[in-house]
Amino acid sequence: MRQAPPSAHCTIGFAGCLRRERKRLATILATLLETFIMSKNRGVVYSKPGEVQVQDIADPKFEDPRGRKIEHGVILKVVSTNICGSDQHMVRGRTTAPAGR
pLDDT in tens, 8-45: 455 667 777 778 888 888 888 877 766 666 557 778 88
Burial 57-67 (b: 16+ CB within 10 A, else e): eeeeeeeeeee
> Which pLDDT band, with edges at 50, 70 and 90, does 85 fall under?
confident
CB 59 within 8 A of CB 41: yes
